[in-house]
Structure 1
């Protein structure tokens, strides 16, 4: 009886060892594939599986959608175009802010970005209400046409606008191409997809930068170049933590 019990115990231990080694082997086999997948698909949070609707096919897609806003395909299409437009406006705006701020710091008669609109209206023969109404009508027409092109790519080329039709017939919303929108032909080269990613990255950086510019002005009443000059002049005493607003108790 004792020997039979010992034999049974030995067989049980052996079977457990075999099962354990099998599980370890399976885990070892899975790990390289997970690492390989992570290496081929960079994500915003390493080790985090991106949502199913962000499969890496979009420019600048790093799987960032913690609120799952893009799970609806129609909403995702809209968000892609909305981000692209915000990126482009932000890049132009930030470039303009830096240019005028640098000019003002150099002594040129440039207004700071937060005063530019007021300065222009002071010498403008057109009233603010007229300008606002005209801009509303024009932007409404442009954005309506762009929305129609999102629903039916290439439809912008169906109508005649000042004799131009072919230049608006692109089948890719947001990237019209052609000579009118792409005089250097960058959208026709092999690096076009790379340029798309770079545009999104720079645009996202510009959006964050503009928020920073607005926050800086709210805290210090100055432009970004003046803030930078003040910080360089006294790097240990002039920081975001010592302006009296960002961190009130310091």
Structure 2
């Protein structure tokens, strides 16, 4: 099971996400580090998880308060070997391309790992955006968002497995930061719907290594984790990295 650490950005801070109640998010207090800067926290999460992938939720962009462009650019250049997955509330292909163009590295940094766009169904309005990103060779990820058991999918992508890319996230916002356990039922449902080679990634609720084992048994290939890393509830140092 691959653990993918999550960095949530809001109003210039790294925040602790709890149950998707974004107006109540507060700046992170982490047992991993006393530092508060996004880059320092990102490095601490990567060290704790052994990951070479970092999921970034730019909540400022998702909530239409403005993307954290300077922070994103700093993370991009300071972590050249880390694959960054970016959810910035993309509504369509054009909005995604506009933001990624602003984060394109200069030629001197052409060795940077990929910047991968994540299309969250709560924000996405154009059902063709994911296909356009695939055609452009961007290897997009689709986040199938839900809250209170209801899909958040204006474009209807949750009901269109044939349009899904090779990687999808089962994003149950109610479970994020909840310590309520992972939503295995949603992973199993999506796994059953998805084409055979689709990689399904879970999100939220992880409390300990037993939860990670259960998540792996549900058909998930990876899981997005933040709180359990910050609170030292899981130890990934002996885990074989994916």
Normalising by the smaller structure, the TM-score range is: under 0.3
Give the structure with the larger helix fraction: 1
Which of the two has greater strand per residue? 2
| TM-score normalised per structure 1 | 0.21
Higher relative contact order (CA 8 A, sep 6+): 2
| TM-score after normalising by structure 2 | 0.21
